[in-house]
Amino acid sequence: MNFFKVTGIAAACATLIACSGDSKGVAGSSLETENSISFQVKLANGKAASKAYVIIHDSQFFVENQDLVDSSRHPQTNEEGILELDSLPRGKYIVEVRGIQENQEQKGATAFEITQVDNDSGKVVAVQTGIPASFQGKAYTDKYPAWVMIRGLEYRVPVDSQGNFSFASLPEGVFEFVLVHSQTNSAGSTVSQILAQSETCVGCEDNTESVLLVDKTAPPRDTAAEHSKDTLKHFMFEDFEEDALDEGKSKNWYASSSEKATASIEIINTLTDRKGYVAHFTCENEEEYNWALMGRYLGTVDMSGLDSIVFWAKGTIKNYVSFSFDIIDSDTTADIQSGKAWMHIPLTEEWARYTVTPDQLEDKENDSGGNIGWDAVKEKVTNISIFGGKGGEFWIDDIEFFGFEEFTYKK
Protein backbone atom coordinates (compact mmCIF):
# COMPACT_ATOMS: atom_id res chain seq x y z
CA MET A 1 0.00 0.00 0.00
CA ASN A 2 1.33 3.45 -0.93
CA PHE A 3 1.58 6.08 1.83
CA PHE A 4 1.54 9.80 0.98
CA LYS A 5 2.64 11.70 4.08
CA VAL A 6 1.72 15.38 4.20
CA THR A 7 3.54 17.01 7.10
CA GLY A 8 3.46 20.30 8.92
CA ILE A 9 -0.28 21.06 9.22
CA ALA A 10 -2.57 21.09 12.23
CA ALA A 11 -5.87 20.80 10.43
CA ALA A 12 -5.71 20.79 6.68
CA CYS A 13 -7.96 20.15 3.71
CA ALA A 14 -8.12 17.33 1.17
CA THR A 15 -9.83 15.41 -1.56
CA LEU A 16 -9.44 13.76 -4.94
CA ILE A 17 -11.55 15.52 -7.55
CA ALA A 18 -12.49 14.34 -11.05
CA CYS A 19 -12.42 17.31 -13.42
CA SER A 20 -13.64 17.57 -16.99
CA GLY A 21 -11.95 19.89 -19.44
CA ASP A 22 -13.26 21.85 -22.40
CA SER A 23 -11.64 21.95 -25.81
CA LYS A 24 -9.20 24.64 -24.63
CA GLY A 25 -8.01 22.60 -21.68
CA VAL A 26 -8.99 25.18 -19.08
CA ALA A 27 -10.60 22.73 -16.65
CA GLY A 28 -7.77 20.22 -16.62
CA SER A 29 -7.64 16.43 -17.03
CA SER A 30 -9.96 13.90 -15.42
CA LEU A 31 -8.52 11.54 -12.81
CA GLU A 32 -9.25 7.88 -13.46
CA THR A 33 -8.67 5.70 -10.39
CA GLU A 34 -6.91 2.35 -10.05
CA ASN A 35 -5.44 0.86 -6.80
CA SER A 36 -6.35 1.96 -3.30
CA ILE A 37 -3.99 4.48 -1.74
CA SER A 38 -3.67 5.99 1.72
CA PHE A 39 -2.74 9.51 2.72
CA GLN A 40 -1.07 9.85 6.09
CA VAL A 41 -1.32 13.40 7.40
CA LYS A 42 0.96 14.52 10.24
CA LEU A 43 1.53 17.70 12.21
CA ALA A 44 4.87 19.46 12.37
CA ASN A 45 5.52 17.75 15.74
CA GLY A 46 5.04 14.31 14.17
CA LYS A 47 1.60 13.63 15.64
CA ALA A 48 -1.22 12.39 13.44
CA ALA A 49 -3.58 15.09 12.18
CA SER A 50 -7.05 13.68 12.76
CA LYS A 51 -9.99 15.19 10.90
CA ALA A 52 -7.53 16.78 8.44
CA TYR A 53 -8.07 17.47 4.75
CA VAL A 54 -5.84 17.25 1.66
CA ILE A 55 -6.64 18.76 -1.78
CA ILE A 56 -5.12 17.03 -4.83
CA HIS A 57 -5.54 18.08 -8.45
CA ASP A 58 -4.06 17.36 -11.83
CA SER A 59 -1.34 19.98 -12.36
CA GLN A 60 -3.31 21.48 -15.29
CA PHE A 61 -6.55 21.87 -13.31
CA PHE A 62 -8.46 25.16 -13.17
CA VAL A 63 -11.40 25.88 -10.92
CA GLU A 64 -14.25 26.94 -13.22
CA ASN A 65 -16.97 27.55 -10.65
CA GLN A 66 -16.62 29.86 -7.65
CA ASP A 67 -18.91 27.52 -5.68
CA LEU A 68 -16.21 24.83 -5.93
CA VAL A 69 -13.87 26.86 -3.71
CA ASP A 70 -15.07 25.42 -0.40
CA SER A 71 -12.73 23.58 1.96
CA SER A 72 -15.57 22.03 3.97
CA ARG A 73 -16.73 19.77 1.13
CA HIS A 74 -13.57 17.66 1.20
CA PRO A 75 -13.30 14.30 3.06
CA GLN A 76 -11.32 14.07 6.29
CA THR A 77 -8.67 11.81 7.74
CA ASN A 78 -9.57 9.45 10.59
CA GLU A 79 -8.31 9.71 14.19
CA GLU A 80 -4.96 8.18 13.14
CA GLY A 81 -4.49 10.75 10.39
CA ILE A 82 -5.20 8.25 7.59
CA LEU A 83 -7.41 8.83 4.54
CA GLU A 84 -7.94 5.99 2.06
CA LEU A 85 -8.82 6.88 -1.54
CA ASP A 86 -8.55 5.24 -4.92
CA SER A 87 -5.05 5.47 -6.33
CA LEU A 88 -3.76 8.06 -8.75
CA PRO A 89 -2.80 7.10 -12.31
CA ARG A 90 0.48 8.21 -13.82
CA GLY A 91 0.64 11.96 -14.03
CA LYS A 92 1.66 15.26 -12.51
CA TYR A 93 -0.29 16.69 -9.57
CA ILE A 94 -0.36 19.51 -7.04
CA VAL A 95 -1.27 18.85 -3.40
CA GLU A 96 -2.33 21.64 -1.09
CA VAL A 97 -2.99 21.59 2.67
CA ARG A 98 -4.93 24.18 4.65
CA GLY A 99 -5.80 24.58 8.28
CA ILE A 100 -5.22 26.13 11.68
CA GLN A 101 -2.21 25.48 13.91
CA GLU A 102 -1.95 27.23 17.28
CA ASN A 103 -4.77 29.61 16.27
CA GLN A 104 -2.96 30.63 13.08
CA GLU A 105 -4.08 29.85 9.55
CA GLN A 106 -1.58 27.60 7.75
CA LYS A 107 -1.26 26.73 4.07
CA GLY A 108 1.21 24.88 1.92
CA ALA A 109 1.40 23.38 -1.56
CA THR A 110 3.80 21.39 -3.68
CA ALA A 111 3.91 19.54 -6.99
CA PHE A 112 4.56 15.79 -7.32
CA GLU A 113 4.51 13.13 -10.01
CA ILE A 114 3.32 9.50 -10.15
CA THR A 115 5.47 7.59 -12.63
CA GLN A 116 4.17 4.03 -11.94
CA VAL A 117 0.66 2.98 -10.95
CA ASP A 118 1.34 -0.44 -9.42
CA ASN A 119 4.31 0.54 -7.33
CA ASP A 120 4.28 -0.06 -3.56
CA SER A 121 7.35 2.10 -3.01
CA GLY A 122 6.09 4.13 -0.06
CA LYS A 123 6.43 7.39 -1.99
CA VAL A 124 6.43 10.43 0.32
CA VAL A 125 5.11 13.85 -0.67
CA ALA A 126 6.09 16.49 1.91
CA VAL A 127 4.36 19.86 2.16
CA GLN A 128 5.92 22.65 4.20
CA THR A 129 3.17 24.87 5.54
CA GLY A 130 3.35 28.42 6.79
CA ILE A 131 1.39 31.63 7.25
CA PRO A 132 -0.46 32.40 3.99
CA ALA A 133 0.47 35.39 1.86
CA SER A 134 -1.79 37.91 0.16
CA PHE A 135 -1.11 38.55 -3.51
CA GLN A 136 -2.30 41.21 -5.93
CA GLY A 137 -1.72 42.15 -9.53
CA LYS A 138 -3.09 43.82 -12.64
CA ALA A 139 -4.58 42.46 -15.84
CA TYR A 140 -4.93 44.19 -19.20
CA THR A 141 -7.80 42.95 -21.35
CA ASP A 142 -10.84 44.36 -23.15
CA LYS A 143 -12.85 41.19 -22.47
CA TYR A 144 -15.20 40.93 -19.47
CA PRO A 145 -16.00 39.14 -17.29
CA ALA A 146 -12.39 38.15 -16.74
CA TRP A 147 -10.94 36.03 -13.94
CA VAL A 148 -7.51 35.08 -12.64
CA MET A 149 -6.96 31.47 -11.58
CA ILE A 150 -3.95 29.48 -10.44
CA ARG A 151 -3.07 26.34 -12.33
CA GLY A 152 -3.50 23.23 -10.19
CA LEU A 153 -5.13 25.00 -7.19
CA GLU A 154 -8.67 25.93 -6.16
CA TYR A 155 -8.35 29.71 -6.34
CA ARG A 156 -10.32 32.03 -8.64
CA VAL A 157 -10.87 35.82 -8.33
CA PRO A 158 -12.47 38.39 -10.64
CA VAL A 159 -10.64 41.19 -12.41
CA ASP A 160 -12.30 44.44 -11.37
CA SER A 161 -13.14 47.48 -13.49
CA GLN A 162 -9.70 48.96 -12.88
CA GLY A 163 -7.88 45.81 -14.02
CA ASN A 164 -6.98 44.86 -10.44
CA PHE A 165 -7.20 41.39 -8.93
CA SER A 166 -6.28 40.23 -5.45
CA PHE A 167 -5.97 36.96 -3.56
CA ALA A 168 -6.46 37.31 0.20
CA SER A 169 -4.72 34.10 1.26
CA LEU A 170 -2.39 31.84 -0.74
CA PRO A 171 0.24 29.23 0.14
CA GLU A 172 3.79 30.35 -0.55
CA GLY A 173 5.48 28.98 -3.63
CA VAL A 174 5.94 29.37 -7.39
CA PHE A 175 2.61 29.17 -9.25
CA GLU A 176 1.26 29.89 -12.72
CA PHE A 177 -1.34 32.68 -12.75
CA VAL A 178 -3.76 32.53 -15.67
CA LEU A 179 -6.07 35.25 -17.01
CA VAL A 180 -9.30 33.72 -18.32
CA HIS A 181 -12.31 35.19 -20.13
CA SER A 182 -15.61 33.35 -19.65
CA GLN A 183 -18.53 33.69 -22.04
CA THR A 184 -21.70 31.83 -23.00
CA ASN A 185 -21.80 30.27 -26.49
CA SER A 186 -24.82 29.83 -28.75
CA ALA A 187 -25.62 26.48 -27.11
CA GLY A 188 -25.85 28.12 -23.69
CA SER A 189 -22.63 26.56 -22.38
CA THR A 190 -19.89 28.50 -20.62
CA VAL A 191 -16.69 28.62 -22.64
CA SER A 192 -13.41 29.79 -21.13
CA GLN A 193 -10.56 31.30 -23.11
CA ILE A 194 -7.04 31.66 -21.74
CA LEU A 195 -5.86 35.21 -22.45
CA ALA A 196 -2.49 35.33 -20.66
CA GLN A 197 -0.42 33.40 -18.15
CA SER A 198 2.64 34.10 -16.06
CA GLU A 199 4.63 32.14 -13.49
CA THR A 200 5.63 34.00 -10.35
CA CYS A 201 6.55 33.38 -6.72
CA VAL A 202 4.09 34.09 -3.91
CA GLY A 203 5.66 35.07 -0.60
CA CYS A 204 9.25 35.26 -1.87
CA GLU A 205 11.33 37.92 -0.12
CA ASP A 206 12.82 39.24 -3.37
CA ASN A 207 9.46 39.39 -5.14
CA THR A 208 7.25 42.48 -5.35
CA GLU A 209 4.20 40.25 -4.86
CA SER A 210 2.60 41.58 -8.03
CA VAL A 211 2.14 40.35 -11.57
CA LEU A 212 0.89 41.95 -14.78
CA LEU A 213 -1.14 39.68 -17.08
CA VAL A 214 -1.44 41.16 -20.59
CA ASP A 215 -4.06 39.87 -23.04
CA LYS A 216 -2.13 39.70 -26.33
CA THR A 217 -5.40 39.62 -28.32
CA ALA A 218 -6.58 42.99 -26.93
CA PRO A 219 -6.14 46.25 -28.89
CA PRO A 220 -2.70 47.91 -28.57
CA ARG A 221 -2.24 49.86 -25.36
CA ASP A 222 -1.34 53.51 -25.00
CA THR A 223 2.07 52.84 -23.52
CA ALA A 224 2.34 56.12 -21.60
CA ALA A 225 -1.20 55.93 -20.24
CA GLU A 226 -0.83 52.27 -19.31
CA HIS A 227 2.47 52.94 -17.56
CA SER A 228 0.79 55.71 -15.59
CA LYS A 229 -2.02 53.35 -14.61
CA ASP A 230 0.36 50.56 -13.62
CA THR A 231 2.17 52.92 -11.26
CA LEU A 232 -1.01 54.54 -9.89
CA LYS A 233 -0.46 55.95 -6.42
CA HIS A 234 -2.36 54.16 -3.66
CA PHE A 235 -2.28 53.47 0.06
CA MET A 236 -3.89 51.17 2.60
CA PHE A 237 -6.41 53.38 4.37
CA GLU A 238 -7.63 50.79 6.88
CA ASP A 239 -6.67 47.16 7.48
CA PHE A 240 -8.34 46.91 10.94
CA GLU A 241 -5.27 45.31 12.51
CA GLU A 242 -4.38 45.61 16.21
CA ASP A 243 -3.08 49.18 15.93
CA ALA A 244 -6.66 50.17 14.98
CA LEU A 245 -7.87 49.00 18.41
CA ASP A 246 -8.17 50.89 21.68
CA GLU A 247 -8.90 48.55 24.61
CA GLY A 248 -10.52 46.10 22.20
CA LYS A 249 -12.68 48.71 20.43
CA SER A 250 -12.20 50.53 17.14
CA LYS A 251 -10.15 53.71 17.48
CA ASN A 252 -11.34 55.39 14.31
CA TRP A 253 -14.70 53.93 13.31
CA TYR A 254 -18.07 54.60 14.90
CA ALA A 255 -21.54 53.05 14.63
CA SER A 256 -24.55 55.32 14.24
CA SER A 257 -28.26 54.90 13.53
CA SER A 258 -31.58 56.71 13.41
CA GLU A 259 -33.88 56.61 16.42
CA LYS A 260 -35.75 53.44 15.46
CA ALA A 261 -32.72 51.45 14.25
CA THR A 262 -29.71 49.95 16.03
CA ALA A 263 -26.06 49.60 15.00
CA SER A 264 -22.88 48.18 16.51
CA ILE A 265 -19.30 47.64 15.33
CA GLU A 266 -16.47 45.44 16.61
CA ILE A 267 -12.99 44.56 15.39
CA ILE A 268 -12.46 40.78 15.42
CA ASN A 269 -9.88 38.20 14.42
CA THR A 270 -11.53 35.81 11.95
CA LEU A 271 -8.76 33.16 12.31
CA THR A 272 -10.03 30.88 9.55
CA ASP A 273 -11.61 32.70 6.63
CA ARG A 274 -9.38 35.79 6.40
CA LYS A 275 -5.96 36.63 7.73
CA GLY A 276 -5.89 39.06 10.68
CA TYR A 277 -8.51 41.47 11.97
CA VAL A 278 -11.67 42.71 10.23
CA ALA A 279 -14.57 45.01 11.11
CA HIS A 280 -17.87 43.32 11.95
CA PHE A 281 -21.00 45.48 11.73
CA THR A 282 -24.52 44.47 12.82
CA CYS A 283 -27.74 46.43 12.60
CA GLU A 284 -31.52 46.23 12.85
CA ASN A 285 -33.59 48.48 10.66
CA GLU A 286 -37.17 47.31 10.18
CA GLU A 287 -38.90 50.56 9.23
CA GLU A 288 -38.70 52.58 6.02
CA TYR A 289 -36.47 55.69 6.05
CA ASN A 290 -34.48 54.48 9.06
CA TRP A 291 -30.73 54.05 8.68
CA ALA A 292 -27.73 52.40 10.36
CA LEU A 293 -24.07 52.79 9.43
CA MET A 294 -20.42 52.43 10.34
CA GLY A 295 -18.45 55.57 9.62
CA ARG A 296 -15.13 57.33 9.93
CA TYR A 297 -14.45 61.05 10.33
CA LEU A 298 -11.71 62.47 8.07
CA GLY A 299 -11.68 66.19 8.66
CA THR A 300 -12.17 67.88 5.29
CA VAL A 301 -10.44 66.10 2.38
CA ASP A 302 -10.22 67.01 -1.30
CA MET A 303 -10.90 63.73 -3.12
CA SER A 304 -11.23 65.22 -6.61
CA GLY A 305 -8.19 63.15 -7.67
CA LEU A 306 -9.72 59.85 -6.50
CA ASP A 307 -9.34 56.98 -8.95
CA SER A 308 -11.08 54.28 -6.91
CA ILE A 309 -11.52 52.66 -3.53
CA VAL A 310 -11.26 48.88 -3.20
CA PHE A 311 -12.14 46.77 -0.19
CA TRP A 312 -12.95 43.20 0.84
CA ALA A 313 -16.39 42.39 2.23
CA LYS A 314 -18.99 39.71 2.87
CA GLY A 315 -22.39 39.87 4.54
CA THR A 316 -25.99 38.83 5.02
CA ILE A 317 -27.58 42.27 4.62
CA LYS A 318 -31.23 42.12 3.51
CA ASN A 319 -30.77 44.23 0.38
CA TYR A 320 -27.38 45.92 -0.02
CA VAL A 321 -24.77 48.05 1.71
CA SER A 322 -24.06 51.60 0.55
CA PHE A 323 -20.56 53.06 0.42
CA SER A 324 -20.91 56.81 0.94
CA PHE A 325 -18.75 59.93 0.73
CA ASP A 326 -20.31 62.46 3.10
CA ILE A 327 -20.34 66.15 3.87
CA ILE A 328 -21.68 66.59 7.39
CA ASP A 329 -22.73 70.20 8.03
CA SER A 330 -21.36 70.36 11.58
CA ASP A 331 -17.86 69.83 10.17
CA THR A 332 -18.02 72.45 7.43
CA THR A 333 -18.72 76.12 6.96
CA ALA A 334 -22.29 77.34 6.60
CA ASP A 335 -22.02 77.95 2.86
CA ILE A 336 -21.28 74.30 2.07
CA GLN A 337 -24.22 71.99 1.36
CA SER A 338 -24.36 68.84 3.46
CA GLY A 339 -25.20 65.54 1.79
CA LYS A 340 -23.60 62.48 0.26
CA ALA A 341 -22.60 60.63 -2.89
CA TRP A 342 -22.94 56.87 -2.68
CA MET A 343 -22.97 53.52 -4.42
CA HIS A 344 -25.20 50.56 -3.50
CA ILE A 345 -23.44 47.17 -3.38
CA PRO A 346 -25.13 43.75 -2.95
CA LEU A 347 -22.89 41.47 -0.84
CA THR A 348 -22.57 37.70 -0.82
CA GLU A 349 -21.79 35.37 2.08
CA GLU A 350 -18.27 34.77 0.72
CA TRP A 351 -15.40 37.26 0.86
CA ALA A 352 -15.07 39.25 -2.38
CA ARG A 353 -13.18 42.34 -3.51
CA TYR A 354 -15.30 45.36 -4.43
CA THR A 355 -14.38 48.54 -6.29
CA VAL A 356 -15.96 51.99 -5.90
CA THR A 357 -15.17 54.59 -8.58
CA PRO A 358 -16.63 58.09 -8.96
CA ASP A 359 -18.42 57.20 -12.20
CA GLN A 360 -20.21 54.31 -10.44
CA LEU A 361 -21.84 56.55 -7.83
CA GLU A 362 -25.60 56.95 -8.03
CA ASP A 363 -27.03 59.71 -10.22
CA LYS A 364 -28.41 62.36 -7.88
CA GLU A 365 -31.45 62.77 -10.15
CA ASN A 366 -32.47 59.13 -9.74
CA ASP A 367 -31.62 58.49 -6.10
CA SER A 368 -32.78 59.67 -2.69
CA GLY A 369 -31.43 59.64 0.87
CA GLY A 370 -29.60 62.96 0.72
CA ASN A 371 -27.61 62.19 -2.42
CA ILE A 372 -26.22 65.43 -3.87
CA GLY A 373 -23.79 63.79 -6.31
CA TRP A 374 -20.02 63.34 -6.58
CA ASP A 375 -19.31 66.77 -8.05
CA ALA A 376 -20.88 68.41 -5.00
CA VAL A 377 -18.91 66.44 -2.39
CA LYS A 378 -15.59 65.49 -3.98
CA GLU A 379 -13.54 68.52 -2.87
CA LYS A 380 -14.73 68.55 0.74
CA VAL A 381 -15.45 65.03 1.99
CA THR A 382 -15.68 65.01 5.80
CA ASN A 383 -16.70 61.40 6.45
CA ILE A 384 -16.97 58.05 4.74
CA SER A 385 -19.79 55.70 5.72
CA ILE A 386 -20.97 52.18 4.98
CA PHE A 387 -24.73 51.86 5.46
CA GLY A 388 -26.26 48.56 6.54
CA GLY A 389 -29.34 48.58 4.34
CA LYS A 390 -32.45 47.02 5.84
CA GLY A 391 -30.63 45.16 8.57
CA GLY A 392 -28.30 42.19 9.03
CA GLU A 393 -24.53 41.99 9.35
CA PHE A 394 -21.45 42.43 7.24
CA TRP A 395 -17.66 42.19 7.53
CA ILE A 396 -15.21 44.68 5.98
CA ASP A 397 -11.42 44.53 5.52
CA ASP A 398 -8.47 46.16 3.74
CA ILE A 399 -9.86 49.46 2.43
CA GLU A 400 -7.42 50.96 -0.11
CA PHE A 401 -7.49 54.37 -1.81
CA PHE A 402 -6.13 54.69 -5.39
CA GLY A 403 -5.08 58.06 -6.72
CA PHE A 404 -3.41 59.22 -3.48
CA GLU A 405 -0.19 58.29 -1.74
CA GLU A 406 -1.95 59.32 1.45
CA PHE A 407 -4.06 62.17 2.79
CA THR A 408 -4.13 63.78 6.19
CA TYR A 409 -7.24 63.93 8.32
CA LYS A 410 -8.25 65.29 11.68
CA LYS A 411 -9.26 62.95 14.47
40 shares a domain with 10: yes
Do 30 and 145 lie in one domain? The reply is no
pLDDT at residue 63 in the model:
82
Q: What is the pLDDT of residue 321?
A: 93
Residue 385 has what pLDDT?
96
Do 87 and 199 have their domain in common?
Answer: no
**Domain assignment present for 119:** no
20 in any annotated domain: yes
pLDDT at residue 122 is higher than 60: no
pLDDT band at 36 (very low <50, low <70, confident <90, very high): low
Q: Given this model, what pLDDT does residue 29 score?
A: 35
pLDDT tens per residue across span 330-373: 544 445 678 999 999 999 888 877 888 898 898 876 666 789 99
Residue 226 has pLDDT above 70, yes or no: no
- Same structural domain for residues 393 and 247? yes
Domain containing 293 equals: 237-402
pLDDT at residue number 117? 55
Q: Where are the beta strands (DSSP E) in 226-336?
A: 234-238, 245-246, 249-250, 253-257, 262-269, 277-284, 292-301, 308-315, 321-327
Q: Is the pLDDT of residue 13 over 60?
A: no
Q: Three-state SS for 212?
A: strand
pLDDT band at 24 (very low <50, low <70, confident <90, very high): very low
In a domain, 286, yes or no: yes
The answer to which of 25-34, 175-184, 314-323, 348-357 has the lowest mean pLDDT is 25-34
CATH number at residue 320: 2.60.120.430
pLDDT at position 290 is: 85
State residue 26's pLDDT score: 39
Asked if 122 contacts 2 with a C-beta cutoff of 8 angstroms, the reply is yes
Question: Of 231, 251, 276, which marks where a domain is finished?
Answer: 231
Who's near 217: CB < 8 A, 6+ residues apart?
Answer: 195
Q: pTM value?
A: 0.51
Q: Are 269 and 360 members of one domain?
A: yes
User: For residues 11 and 254, what is the distance between their CA atoms, to the nearest angstrom?
Assistant: 36
Residues 249 and 374 in one domain: yes
Task: Report the range of poorest mean pLDDT among 53-67, 218-232, 269-283, 288-302.
Answer: 218-232
92-96: average pLDDT: 87
Band (2; pLDDT cuts 50, 70, 90): very low
Q: Domain total for the chain?
A: 3
Task: Say if residue 247 is in the same domain as residue 223.
Answer: no
Q: Which residues of 36-49 are buried (b: 16+ CB within 10 A; e: fewer)?
A: ebbbbbbbeeeeeb
Residues 242 and 225 in one domain: no
In a domain, 161, yes or no: yes
pLDDT cut 70: percent of the chain above it:
65
Instruction: Check residues 154 and 289 and name the one with the higher pLDDT.
Output: 154
Residues 185 and 270 in one domain: no
In a domain, 126, yes or no: no
Residue 194 has pLDDT above 50, yes or no: yes
In a domain, 307, yes or no: yes
**Residue at 155 is within a domain:** yes
Asked whether the predicted pLDDT for residue 225 surpasses 80, the reply is no
Give how far Cα 26 sits from Cα of 105, 110, 190, 191, Å: 29, 20, 11, 9
Confidence of residue 206 (pLDDT cuts 50, 70, 90): low
- Whether residues 140 and 7 share a domain: the answer is no
Q: Which residue has the higher pLDDT, 360 or 218?
A: 360
Confidence (pLDDT) at 176: 94
CB within 8 Å of 372: residues ≥ 6 apart: 327, 337, 339, 340, 341, 364
| 44-48, 151-155, 161-165: segment of lowest average pLDDT | 44-48
Same domain, 191 and 337: no
Is 123 inside a domain boundary?
Answer: no
Which of 212, 231, 250 represents a domain boundary (last residue)? 231
Question: Comparing 15 with 308, which gets the higher pLDDT?
Answer: 308
Residue 134 main-chain phi, psi, to 5 deg: -85, 160
Q: What is the pLDDT of residues 126-136, one digit of tens each?
A: 777 777 888 88
Residues near 306 by beta carbon (within 8 Å), at least 6 away in sequence: 358, 378, 401, 402, 403, 404
* pLDDT band, residue 71 (cuts 50/70/90): low
Check which CATH number belongs to the domain holding 177 and give it. 2.60.40.2070
Domain match, 218 and 255 both: no
Confidence of residue 162 (pLDDT cuts 50, 70, 90): confident
Q: Is the pLDDT of residue 235 over 70?
A: yes
**Confidence (pLDDT) at 189:** 65
Express as a percent the part of the chain with pLDDT over 90: 22
On the question of pLDDT at 18 being above 50, the answer is no
Greater confidence (120 vs 168) lies with: 168
Domain boundary among 82, 114, 146: 114
